[in-house]
Amino acid sequence: MILQESVVIFTEKADWHSHGLRDACAREGLRPLILSTADCGFDLASGRPGLVLPGLDGRLPGAAFVRLIPAGSTEQITVRLGLLHAARDLGVQVVNDARAIEACVDKSTTTFRLAAAGLPTPRTVALEGRDAAQAAFEAMRGDAVLKPLFGAQGKGLIRLKPGDALPAPEEVGGVYYLQEFVASRGSRLAGGAHDWRVFVLDGRPLAAMIRRSPGWITNIFQGAEGEAADASGEIGALAVRAAAAVGADYAGVDLIEDEDGRFLILEVNSMPAWKGLCQATGVDVAAALARDLAGRLSRADAA
């Protein structure tokens, strides 16, 4: 049985984002419940739908919003994603569903999807062999950024200059994800770097900000400052196409304008934070997400 007005917010722990979304859902007349996927699972001998979701008495929510999936072992992550796959198969409106999360959490798959959709990205390689990765880096003929394959929030980024040796395989999880370094337009004159974050929701650009940093890492969590930007035009259109390429209902899309004035897509985040975006733009992202969830449930109920 599905509780059509019930919404589960999956997160690692209740925080500013999940509390804000919970309150916004309540204002839409929904019944929000904050859970961690780590506390959920499968019970396939009970005669019920087979999913263990504390607080729902064996029933299913009408929708599930995935804010965060806790870190864990390969086995734990597999079960948590399996739970999201199963919920979708059972008729729950899952935003974002496991397919989009899987496409975004692995940066190599994200970049492949973007390139396959004909979207502009920096030259990127993802290789296991150190020698092959070193050769690919040297062929870039310029700086490159070595990124953790599963990284987020600007953590673990290493900028490499021509002639630098790549770290040992055990220092990068056995995979070298290398992206050509792109100097943002005017960064040399401004003395820092900047890029764009566009928040896409249901096929439209909801809000955008420019992130400015005195260094080369432009993530808000690493000290960059955001300022409101126009979400329409080229950056909005590219961001919408990028979210569609990975199958995301909502996404944070990062773009950079190179020194020739060309926009390139750096990353797509299927579980983006939005606090910095709200502060920079004044857009109530939680309210927009709650309205979107309410609309999905209304359409599902009418179908």
pLDDT tens per residue, range 122-132: 999 999 999 99
Q: What is the mean pLDDT of residues 268-286?
A: 96
pTM exceeding 0.85: yes
- Residue 64 has a pLDDT of 98
- Residue 44 has a pLDDT of 84
CA distance 89 to 160: 44
- Residue 303 has a pLDDT of 66
CA distance 118 to 218: 25
Q: What is the mean pLDDT of residues 99-112?
A: 95
- Residue 188 has a pLDDT of 46
User: Domains in the chain, start-ordered, CATH in brackets?
Assistant: 2-96+286-302 (3.40.50.20), 105-120+184-270 (3.30.470.20), 124-180 (3.30.1490.20)
pLDDT tens sequence across 219-260: 766 667 888 999 989 999 999 999 999 999 999 999 998 888
207 against 222, higher pLDDT: 207
Q: What is the mean pLDDT of residues 157-174?
A: 92
- Residue 38 has a pLDDT of 96
Q: How confident is the model at residue 289 (pLDDT cuts 50, 70, 90)?
A: very high
- Intra-chain end-to-end CA distance of the chain, in Å: 16
Q: What are phi and psi of 34, to 5 degrees?
A: -90, 125
